[in-house]
Chain A
Amino acid sequence: QQPVQSPQAVILREGEDAVINCSSSKALYSVHWYRQKHGEAPVFLMILLKGGEQKGHDKISASFNEKKQQSSLYLTASQLSYSGTYFCGTETGQGGKLIFGQGTELSVKP
């Protein structure tokens, strides 16, 4: 079952914050976040494991609420380089198979 991402698209000014949500109808083993620039391959951002942890590097962080089967990606003080489509990938069991959400298109304007 494909996870649902919201919002589908968001436009920001440089320096503004954004939150991207990812919800699943199934119990999750892990959640992966990727960013894809137009015409390029997706690039890994971070993995969150069940246990309700929060991770982050630089101004991008994420949380994982195992009970709610949800993950959120937080982008603070956005930069132009943050523009792209963000995908969450969910893993419902061990084995490495990911099911990706439909993506959230983020545009950061000067």
Chain B
Amino acid sequence: SQTIHQWPATLVQPVGSPLSLECTVEGTSNPNLYWYRQAAGRGLQLLFYSVGIGQISSEVPQNLSASRPQDRQFILSSKKLLLSDSGFYLCAWSVDSLLAPYEQYFGPGTRLTVT
């Protein structure tokens, strides 16, 4: 069966510090991978999605970046965090198919507080 891991679970970082969040998927090959951010009490904002190694699409221009160094690894980074980067960061995966849409499965999330 497929599982998705995220770490760390919680993180408190000062403004201006760097960020690295990691997401890995097990039990599937060539998944589509996604990074979302959810501000407190708000909806899910798509940040990045990837259909393959090295293929990243950015949805929201900001000080965040994403990389996919391996098939089942997705990393979210920032060189300098802003207060507005606080939120609940969710990684998700789905089957890669052009034939039919597939559901997305979410990881447990990382709760980031920028102070």
Contacts and interface: CB of A to CB of B under 8 A. Distances in A.
Secondary structure of the A contact surface, majority rule: loop
Contacts of A110: none
B104 A98 contact: yes
Contacts of B97: 96
B51 A41 contact: no
Contact of A95 (B51, B59, B90, B109): B51
B12 interface: no
Contacts of A100: 36, 43-46
B100 A49 contact: yes
A42 B44 contact: yes
B12 to A, nearest CB: 17
Contacts of A32: 101, 103-104
Interface string B30-53: 001000100000111110010100
Contacts, number: 60
Contacts of B109: 40-41
Contacts of B44: 42, 87, 89, 100
Contacts of B103: 32, 44, 47
A96 B43 contact: no
Given A47-B102, A96-B96, A101-B43, 7 more contacts: A41-B109, A87-B43, A99-B46, A100-B43, A100-B44, A102-B43, A103-B42
30 contacts: A30-B101, A32-B101, A32-B103, A41-B90, A41-B106, A41-B107, A42-B44, A42-B106, A44-B105, A87-B44, A89-B44, A89-B104, A95-B98, A96-B51, A96-B94, A96-B96, A96-B97, A96-B104, A97-B46, A97-B49, A97-B57, A98-B46, A98-B104, A99-B46, A100-B43, A100-B44, A100-B45, A102-B43, A103-B42, A103-B43
Interface of B: 32, 36, 42-46, 49, 51, 57, 59, 90, 94, 96-98, 100-109
